[in-house]
């Protein structure tokens, strides 16, 4: 989302509260908190104009640690509460902090409706692929066959692909980042903040207690470059430790190619975050990174951005138009109605 | 031929037909015409449960009852003096509710073999011919044929379109019967069909044909007149319950200066409030049709948090879905108005039928100790005052408030001596002011003498703070698991709601002496029936009084004392006994219930019988 810039000199410190942070030591949430605290002061928005709404889950404790207006609400409904807040107060910079269970399971319905309405808010989904707060059940983003407290024989649920879901709901800003890459996360959050419309940011977050290392393959030096693909606007999709692999579009079919004899960078897919159709393919690059043999790397960055009118603006506009054409409402006229009679 | 004119004091007329016959419109037109003459009235539309039940069948019957009188009217009437039955099904459904000797006006075309079969009459039986209606005065009119005839020159209209004007014929005839003019309906038709000239002209033509039919046919020798009612002086209009409720919300928004935000999900019989409010953007009203009931209330909480007057409207099943979010609003201690237009339950229950179904749900239906004020409307126009008052309590006491109305009031209409905006009690609201000096930390749960915390809205410098559903430490609002604090907070939230009793009027008796044999206590839509029954019994010398509760939680402070002054207490309710349980609990009173759970209102007649029975037992 975007908000009008005002000259304010704030630092990350201004956004920290006196509350003791109560996530498990080593939790990925700490890094996300730090990056948000670093990004917010750079946006030129007065501190009191930030409102952070969260649902329930480990991630949803976030507002307590941010010295802004904040509401730690109920499970799955942060998106709906934020919608009402933004509708009533378009002047605020509204942030939603949610997790995979909160946004995709109990709050799945509100998530898709927020996206289609395109309220100008930032929607951060901390995806750790597990239920942390309730101590370790599988989540709607957990991989199939996962053994958890509630699935001792393995999960038989097919997981959501959050970005594909957001794309399907006509999201206008769709991005992925991760807790372990502070710089990338800061850049992504800044982009999200500047986007006018609902900015959907999936953040891979390590739950070191119940699902430790689930994204390690994307963060560890040895595997990171082969399994992750960093998206840059107008740049070819190149990845690999030696920058030796790329993605090419063969008709509508993406394929992994080796750079060298047969293919050069010129043959590759050039990333264009404004291309709706390419974004549909890109969000579907969701292969299991542990799969042996050729498979797609997992993309990170901004997949898609487009501009579409925001609900709150359209809402205000309708009111304005009615007032322009009919004049401001007159309560006495309303109460009187059209037909009256007198009794003496 | 001699024509006589007879003056009546009181008429109950019911229009009944297939849902496609336009009976609601006919009823509303006649109501409007009646109201404008200064005759007092009350209406009761009775919709079929299904939107499009098969034509001609019993479930497809739609009714509209109107009681009009030169005396004060409190109910739409127990039993009809006149029934208009457009088909056999409409007659069958309503036969029980016509006065012996009453008039039945039938459209004989609706009694052909097919319609009789659809209405489940046995083969070969036609109630118009078998003498079963001998106790009534039956007026048979071939409405369909006469309508077609009147429109024979309208060659551009098909048979279907012509037949659609049938209800205008009936309306015209009724106008003649009650000595009315056609002008209000002609004006209405002009507005409705302004650009469709031949539809407009055909409707007017049929309306006139119906009127002339009464005038020229020699069979009808008597016309009836009902005089103006002696109501308090003033300017009146006709108003329906849900409409009045919407106006009350707008008025509260205007008088408090808070923009109105409605988050709602369509549900019968509450949707009309959403429809009405969505028309009034000129008042800055924001209506948000949410994806579900939970999002509806959640968005309203968000709007209230941002400093708007947040409202959500629903009915029983939707109330159930909003439960958790109501608990959040109680914890957050922010203003919110939750409107429940009750209907028959449980589950989907009887969506189009009335019931005082949700008092228990409103009172107790949440997890934890979760008190919320409850206020109930008694009549269609009362919905205005009650909505206004609900908003006042919500914003001045920083609490969600439940407003209970029901299907009967929501769709009913009555004359309303509407207020002037200048005469409405102002609603003062203050947001917490910005703090430039950030040394003193803002305390979001610091309370005033009403135990009310500040409304500190985002965008106010220096007031940054966090709230949420976890238990709060008093004053600071920080999360607290401290045992003593939890007990203190539970008690404080309760006390805050109880304290509202200091800021609402004392309970008045609606009628009757302050002591006596029997006190009838009601709430909500039973008002008219209880009032008229009690008044009649008082005239007959019975020692009976009536108290009707607007404030159901907290109760007015003097309610206990009022109750003590009577030997017996009767609580009539359209449910299986809900208020009575709360009264027994709070006042240890051995109250008796009178409970009707049939999806229809309690009648004056049955109440009179019940009250006499109770009084004679002693
Ligand atoms: S349970 Fe997992 S997600 Fe929750 S705070 Fe601990 S490490 Fe973080």
**Do B396 and B339 fall within a single domain?**
yes
Minimal-distance CA residue to ligand 1 atom 1: A132
State pLDDT tens for residues A177-234: 999 999 999 999 999 999 999 999 999 999 999 999 999 999 999 999 999 999 999 9
Minimal-distance CA residue to ligand 1 atom 3: A207
Which pLDDT score is estimated for B194?
Answer: 85
Give the number of other Cβ atoms within 10 Å of residue A284's Cβ: 14
Report yes or no on B373 lying in a domain.
yes
pLDDT tops 90 at residue B556: yes
Between CA B375 and CA B393 the distance in angstroms is: 10
Report yes or no on B72 lying in a domain.
yes
**Which chain B residues touch A91 with a CB distance below 8 Å?**
459
Between CA B23 and CA B36 the distance in angstroms is: 20
Give the bridge partners for A343, in sequence order.
Answer: B234
Q: Exposed, middle or buried by CB within 10 Å (0-12, 13-18, 19+), for A294?
A: exposed
Q: Name the residue among B232, B328, B458 with its Cβ closest to that of A92.
A: B458
Between CA B501 and CA B555 the distance in angstroms is: 7
Give the contacts of A293 (CB within 8 A, at least 6 positions apart).
none
pLDDT tops 90 at residue B172: yes
- Whose structure tokens read 């975007």? A2
For residue A95, the CA-to-ligand 1 centroid distance in Å is 21
Q: How far is CA B451 from CA A115, B432, B443, B468, B503, in A?
A: 39, 15, 14, 19, 13
Q: How far is CA B277 from CA B174, B242, B283, B384, B422, in A?
A: 34, 10, 9, 13, 21
**Do B250 and B212 fall within a single domain?**
no
pLDDT tops 80 at residue B437: no
Rounded to 10 degrees, the C-alpha dihedral B489/B363/B326/B260 comes to -110
Q: Name the residue among B294, B308, B461 with its Cβ closest to that of A88.
A: B308
Q: What is the DSSP string of B100-143?
A: EEEEEEEEGGGGSHHHHHHTTPPTT--TTTSSTTTTSEEEEE-H
Read off the tokens for A333.
């006229």
Which of the four pLDDT bands, split at 50, 70 and 90, describes residue B436? Answer: confident
Give the contacts of B7 (CB within 8 A, at least 6 positions apart).
B224, B225, B226, B227
Report yes or no on B42 lying in a domain.
yes
**Which chain A residues touch B418 with a CB distance below 8 Å?**
335-337
Q: Of the residues A58, A62, A97, A102, which should be mutated to test ligand 1's pocket, given the most ligand atoms within 8 Å of the CB?
A: A58
**Do B207 and B161 fall within a single domain?**
yes
Minimal-distance CA residue to ligand 1 atom 6: A24
Cα distance from B230 to chain A (closest Cα, Å)?
Answer: 8
The answer to whether A299 and A280 are in contact (CB under 8 A) is no
Which of the four pLDDT bands, split at 50, 70 and 90, describes residue A2? Answer: low
Q: What is the DSSP string of B574-604?
A: SSSSSHHHHHHHHH----EEEE--SSSPPPH
Which of the four pLDDT bands, split at 50, 70 and 90, describes residue B4? Answer: confident
| Pairs across A and B, CB distance < 8 A | 216
Q: Name the residue among A113, A334, A342 with its Cβ closest to that of B250.
A: A334
Residue B347 sits in a domain whose CATH number is: 3.40.50.970
Read off the tokens for B591.
């109250």
Which pLDDT score is estimated for B1?
Answer: 53
**Do B105 and B202 fall within a single domain?**
yes
- CB pair distance less than 8 Å for A81 and B301: yes
Between CA A91 and CA A312 the distance in angstroms is: 10
- Name the domain boundary from B175, B191, B226: B226
Q: Minimal CA–CA distance to A97: which of A56, A136, A43? A: A56
The answer to whether B62 and B47 are in contact (CB under 8 A) is yes
Which pLDDT score is estimated for B155?
Answer: 87
Between helix B143-150 and helix B197-216 the angle, nearest 10°, is 120
- CB pair distance less than 8 Å for B305 and A71: yes
Which pLDDT score is estimated for B439?
Answer: 67
Q: Of the residues A207, A212, A213, A214, which should be mutated to test ligand 1's pocket, given the most ligand atoms within 8 Å of the CB?
A: A207
Mean pLDDT, residues B459-481 taken together: 96
> Which numbered atom of ligand 1 lies nearest the CA of A126?
3
Q: Minimal CA–CA distance to B102: which of B72, B77, B121? A: B77
**Which A residues 109-128 touch B at CB under 8 Å?**
109-110, 113
Residue B392: φ, ψ to 5°: -60, -50
Per DSSP, the three-state class of B84 is strand
Most A CBs within 10 Å, among B286, B434, B464, B476, to test the A interface: B464
Number of H helices, E strands in chain B: 20, 23
State pLDDT tens for residues B178-228: 999 999 999 999 999 988 899 999 999 999 999 999 988 877 888 999 999
- CB pair distance less than 8 Å for B237 and A340: yes
Which pLDDT score is estimated for B51?
Answer: 67
Minimal-distance CA residue to ligand 1 atom 8: A27
Read off the tokens for B190.
């002009």
Residue B546: φ, ψ to 5°: -130, 125
Cα distance from A183 to chain B (closest Cα, Å)?
Answer: 28
Mean pLDDT, residues B49-76 taken together: 90
Read off the tokens for B25.
């419109």
Q: What is the DSSP string of B179-212?
A: T--SHHHHHHHHHHHTT-HHHHHHHHHHHHHHHH
Between helix A78-88 and helix A108-117 the angle, nearest 10°, is 30
> Which numbered atom of ligand 1 lies nearest the CA of A136?
1
Read off the tokens for B462.
């220096």
Q: Exposed, middle or buried by CB within 10 Å (0-12, 13-18, 19+), for B58?
A: middle
Q: Minimal CA–CA distance to B209: which of B248, B169, B242? A: B169
Domain that holds residue B245: 237-418
Residue B354: φ, ψ to 5°: -90, 150
Mean pLDDT, residues A119-136 taken together: 96
State pLDDT tens for residues B318-342: 999 999 999 999 999 999 999 999 9
Q: Name the residue among A49, A50, A329 with its Cβ closest to that of B283.
A: A329
Which of the four pLDDT bands, split at 50, 70 and 90, describes residue B272? Answer: very high
- CB pair distance less than 8 Å for B295 and A110: yes
Which pLDDT score is estimated for B438?
Answer: 62
Between CA B216 and CA B209 the distance in angstroms is: 10
Between CA B246 and CA B383 the distance in angstroms is: 8
Domains of chain A: 12-214 (3.40.50.970)
Question: How many whole angstroms from its chain centre is CA A323?
Answer: 36
Q: Of the residues A101, A209, A212, A214, which should be mutated to test ligand 1's pocket, given the most ligand atoms within 8 Å of the CB?
A: A209
How much is the pTM? 0.94
Minimal-distance CA residue to ligand 1 atom 5: A23
Report yes or no on B442 lying in a domain.
no
Which pLDDT score is estimated for B179?
Answer: 94
State pLDDT tens for residues B373-422: 999 999 999 999 999 999 999 999 999 999 999 999 999 999 999 999 99
Q: Exposed, middle or buried by CB within 10 Å (0-12, 13-18, 19+), for A122?
A: buried
Give the number of other Cβ atoms within 10 Å of residue B618's Cβ: 8
The answer to whether B93 and B58 are in contact (CB under 8 A) is yes
> Which numbered atom of ligand 1 lies nearest the CA of A207?
2
pLDDT tops 80 at residue B424: yes
Rounded to 10 degrees, the C-alpha dihedral B120/B123/B129/B133 comes to -30
Cα distance from B242 to chain A (closest Cα, Å)?
Answer: 14
For residue A58, the CA-to-ligand 1 centroid distance in Å is 6
Read off the tokens for B486.
């939890």
**Which chain A residues touch B32 with a CB distance below 8 Å?**
339
Between CA B296 and CA B480 the distance in angstroms is: 29
- CB pair distance less than 8 Å for B228 and A343: yes
For residue A59, the CA-to-ligand 1 centroid distance in Å is 8
Which of the four pLDDT bands, split at 50, 70 and 90, describes residue B258? Answer: very high
The sign of the dihedral angle between the CA atoms of A107, A111, A112, A113 is positive
Which chain A residue has the Cα nearest residue B423? A332
The answer to whether B162 and B147 are in contact (CB under 8 A) is yes
**Do B290 and B170 fall within a single domain?**
no
Report yes or no on B122 lying in a domain.
yes
Which pLDDT score is estimated for A166?
Answer: 98
Beta strands in chain A (DSSP E): 50-54, 69-72, 93-99, 122-127, 173-178, 199-204, 228-230, 238-239, 245-250, 253-258, 298-305, 341-343
Between CA B334 and CA B442 the distance in angstroms is: 17
Read off the tokens for A283.
């969000």
The sign of the dihedral angle between the CA atoms of A55, A58, A59, A65 is positive
Q: Which residues does a 6 A CB cutoff place in the pocket of ligand 1?
A: A 23-24, 27, 29, 58, 128, 132, 207-210
Between CA B385 and CA B419 the distance in angstroms is: 10
- CB pair distance less than 8 Å for B305 and A47: no
pLDDT tops 90 at residue A310: yes
**Do B161 and B255 fall within a single domain?**
no
Read off the tokens for B410.
């929501």
**Do B269 and B205 fall within a single domain?**
no
A89 — contact with chain B (CB < 8 Å)? yes
Read off the tokens for B294.
């939970």
Residue B105 sits in a domain whose CATH number is: 3.40.920.10
**Do B248 and B222 fall within a single domain?**
no
Question: How many whole angstroms from its chain centre is CA B224?
Answer: 30
Q: Name the residue among A63, A88, A344 with its Cβ closest to that of B303.
A: A88
- CB pair distance less than 8 Å for A91 and B459: yes
Between CA A100 and CA B599 the distance in angstroms is: 44
The distance between the two most distant Cα atoms of chain B, rounded to a whole number of Å, is 95
The sign of the dihedral angle between the CA atoms of B384, B385, B386, B392 is positive
Which pLDDT score is estimated for A6?
Answer: 53
Report yes or no on B115 lying in a domain.
yes
When computed from its CA atoms, the radius of gyration of chain A, rounded to whole angstroms, is 23
Which chain A residue has the Cα nearest residue B460? A48
- CB pair distance less than 8 Å for B298 and A73: yes
Which pLDDT score is estimated for B278?
Answer: 98
For chain A, the residue count is 344
Q: Name the residue among B32, B35, B282 with its Cβ closest to that of A328.
A: B282
Q: Exposed, middle or buried by CB within 10 Å (0-12, 13-18, 19+), for B222?
A: exposed
A40 — contact with chain B (CB < 8 Å)? no
The answer to whether A124 and A96 are in contact (CB under 8 A) is yes
Which of the four pLDDT bands, split at 50, 70 and 90, describes residue B577? Answer: very high
Which of the four pLDDT bands, split at 50, 70 and 90, describes residue A1? Answer: low
Q: What is the DSSP string of B273-328?
A: HHHHHHH-GGGT-EEEE-SSHHHHHHHHHHHHHTTSEEEEEE-HHHHHHHHHHHHH
Q: What average pLDDT does the structure give for chain B?
A: 95
Between helix B143-150 and helix B166-177 the angle, nearest 10°, is 100
State pLDDT tens for residues B116-135: 999 999 999 999 999 999 99
Q: Name the residue among A63, A67, A84 with its Cβ closest to that of B299.
A: A84
**Do B138 and B207 fall within a single domain?**
yes
**Do B140 and B25 fall within a single domain?**
yes
A69 — contact with chain B (CB < 8 Å)? yes
Q: What is the DSSP string of A209-247?
A: TTSTTTTHHHHSHHHHHHHEEE--TTSB-EESTTS-EEE
The distance between the two most distant Cα atoms of chain A, rounded to a whole number of Å, is 100
For residue A132, the CA-to-ligand 1 centroid distance in Å is 5
Q: What is the share, in percent, of chain B residues with pLDDT greater than 70?
A: 99
A64 — contact with chain B (CB < 8 Å)? yes
Mean pLDDT, residues B252-280 taken together: 98
Minimal-distance CA residue to ligand 1 atom 2: A207
- Name the domain boundary from B394, B418, B442: B418
pLDDT tops 70 at residue B50: no
**Do B140 and B185 fall within a single domain?**
yes
The answer to whether A231 and A296 are in contact (CB under 8 A) is no
Q: Name the residue among B247, B250, B298 with its Cβ closest to that of A81.
A: B298
Q: What is the share, in percent, of chain B residues with pLDDT greater than 90?
A: 92
Residue B561 sits in a domain whose CATH number is: 3.40.50.920
Cα distance from B333 to chain A (closest Cα, Å)?
Answer: 12
- Name the domain boundary from B191, B226, B261: B226
Between CA A319 and CA B260 the distance in angstroms is: 12
Mean pLDDT, residues A85-105 taken together: 98
Query: For chain B, what is the domain count?
Result: 3
For residue A279, the CA-to-ligand 1 centroid distance in Å is 31
**Do B207 and B243 fall within a single domain?**
no
Phi-psi label, residue B124: left if phi above 0, alpha if psi -120 to 50, beta otherwise: left
Give the contacts of A262 (CB within 8 A, at least 6 positions apart).
none
Q: What average pLDDT does the structure give for chain A?
A: 95
């Amino acid at each position: 989302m975007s908000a009008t810039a005002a000259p304010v000199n704030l630092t990350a410190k201004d956004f920290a509260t006196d509350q003791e942070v109560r996530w498990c030591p080593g939790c990925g949430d700490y890094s996300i908190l730090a990056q948000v605290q670093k990004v917010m002061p750079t946006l030129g928005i007065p501190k009191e104009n930030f409102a952070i709404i969260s649902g329930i889950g480990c991630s949803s404790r976030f507002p307590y640690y941010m010295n802004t207006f904040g509401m730690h609400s109920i499970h799955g409904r942060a998106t709906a509460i934020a919608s009402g807040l933004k509708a009533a107060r378009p002047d605020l910079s509204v942030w939603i902090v949610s997790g995979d269970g909160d946004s995709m399971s109990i709050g799945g319905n509100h998530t898709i409706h927020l996206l289609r309405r395109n309220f100008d808010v930032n929607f951060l989904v901390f995806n750790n692929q597990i239920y942390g707060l309730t101590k370790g059940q599988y989540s709607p983003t957990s991989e199939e066959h996962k053994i958890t407290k509630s699935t001792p024989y393995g999960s038989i649920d097919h997981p959501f692909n959050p970005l594909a879901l957001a794309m399907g709901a006509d999201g206008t800003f769709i991005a992925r980042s991760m807790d372990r890459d502070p710089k990338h996360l800061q850049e992504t959050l800044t982009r999200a903040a500047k986007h006018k419309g609902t900015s959907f940011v999936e953040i891979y977050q390590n739950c070191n207690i119940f699902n430790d290392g689930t994204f390690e393959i994307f963060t560890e030096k040895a595997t990171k470059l082969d399994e992750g693909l960093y998206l840059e606007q107008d740049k070819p999709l190149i990845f690999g430790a030696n920058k030796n692999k790329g993605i090419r579009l063969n008709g509508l079919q993406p394929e992994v190619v080796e750079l060298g004899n047969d293919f050069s960078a010129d043959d590759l897919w050039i990333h264009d975050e404004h291309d709706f159709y390419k974004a549909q393919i890109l969000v579907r690059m969701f292969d299991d990174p542990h799969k042996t043999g050729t498979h797609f790397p997992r993309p990170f960055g901004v997949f898609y951005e487009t501009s579409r009118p925001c609900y709150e603006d359209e809402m205000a506009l309708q009111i304005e138009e009615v007032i322009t054409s009919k004049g401001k409402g007159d309560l006495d006229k309303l109460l009187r109605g059209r037909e009256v009679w007198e009794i003496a | 031929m001699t024509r006589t004119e007879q003056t009546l004091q009181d008429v109950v007329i019911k229009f009944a037909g297939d849902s496609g016959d336009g009976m609601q419109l006919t009823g509303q037109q006649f109501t409007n015409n009646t109201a404008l003459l200064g005759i007092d009235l009350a209406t009761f539309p009775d919709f079929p449960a299904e939107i499009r039940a098969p034509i001609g069948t019993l479930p497809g019957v739609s009714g509209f009852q109107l009681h009009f009188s030169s005396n004060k009217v409190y109910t739409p009437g127990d039993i009809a003096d006149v029934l208009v039955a457009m088909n056999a099904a409409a007659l069958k459904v309503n036969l029980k509710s016509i006065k012996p000797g009453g008039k039945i006006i039938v459209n004989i075309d609706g009694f052909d073999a097919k319609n009789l079969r659809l209405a489940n009459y046995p083969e070969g039986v036609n109630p118009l011919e078998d003498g079963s209606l001998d106790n009534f005065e039956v007026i048979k009119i071939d409405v369909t044929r006469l309508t077609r005839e009147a429109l024979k020159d309208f060659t551009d209209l098909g048979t279907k379109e012509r037949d659609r004007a049938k209800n205008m014929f009936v309306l015209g005839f009724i106008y003649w019967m009650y000595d009315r003019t056609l002008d209000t309906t002609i004006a209405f038709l002009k507005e409705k069909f302004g650009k469709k000239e031949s539809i407009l002209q055909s409707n007017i033509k049929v309306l006139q044909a119906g009127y002339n039919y009464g005038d020229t046919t020699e069979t009808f020798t008597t016309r009836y007149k009902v005089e103006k009612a002696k109501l308090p002086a003033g300017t009146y209009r006709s108003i329906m319950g849900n409409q009045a409720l919407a106006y009350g919300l707008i008025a509260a928004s205007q008088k408090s200066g808070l923009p109105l935000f409605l988050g709602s999900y369509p549900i019968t019989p509450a949707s009309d409030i959403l429809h009405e409010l969505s028309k009034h953007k000129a008042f800055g009203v924001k209506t948000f049709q949410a994806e579900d009931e939970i999002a509806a209330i959640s968005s309203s909480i968000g709007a209230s948090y941002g400093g708007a007057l947040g409202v959500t409207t629903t009915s029983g099943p939707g109330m159930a879905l909003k439960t958790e979010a109501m608990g959040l609003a109680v914890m957050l201690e922010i203003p919110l108005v939750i409107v429940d237009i009750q209907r028959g339950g449980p589950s989907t229950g009887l969506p189009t039928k009335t019931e005082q179904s949700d008092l228990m749900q409103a009172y107790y239906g949440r997890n934890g100790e979760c008190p919320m004020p409850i206020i109930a409307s008694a009549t269609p126009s009362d919905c205005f005052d009650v909505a206004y008052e609900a908003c006042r309590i919500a914003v001045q006491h920083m609490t969600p408030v439940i407003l209970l109305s029901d299907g009967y009031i929501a769709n009913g209409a009555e004359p309303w001596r509407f207020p002037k905006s200048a005469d409405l009690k102002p609603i003062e609201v203050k947001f917490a002011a910005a703090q430039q000096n950030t040394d003193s930390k803002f305390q979001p749960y610091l309370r005033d003498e009403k135990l009310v915390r500040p409304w500190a809205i985002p965008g106010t410098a220096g007031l940054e703070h966090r709230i949420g559903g976890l238990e709060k430490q008093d004053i600071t609002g920080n999360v607290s698991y401290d045992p003593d604090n939890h007990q203190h907070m539970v008690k404080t939230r309760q006390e805050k709601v109880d304290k509202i009793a200091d800021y609402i009027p004392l309970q008045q008796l609606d009628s009757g002496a302050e002591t006596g044999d029997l006190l009838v206590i009601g709430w909500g839509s039973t008002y008219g029936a209880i009032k008229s029954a009690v008044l009649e019994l008082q005239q007959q010398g019975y020692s009976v009084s009536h108290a009707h509760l607007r404030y159901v939680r907290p109760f007015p402070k003097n309610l206990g004392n009022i109750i003590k002054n009577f030997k017996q207490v009767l609580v009539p309710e359209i449910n299986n006994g809900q208020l009575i349980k709360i009264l027994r609990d709070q006042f240890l009173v051995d109250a008796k219930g009178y409970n009707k759970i049939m999806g229809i209102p309690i009648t004056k007649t049955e109440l009179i019988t019940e009250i006499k029975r109770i009084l004679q037992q002693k």
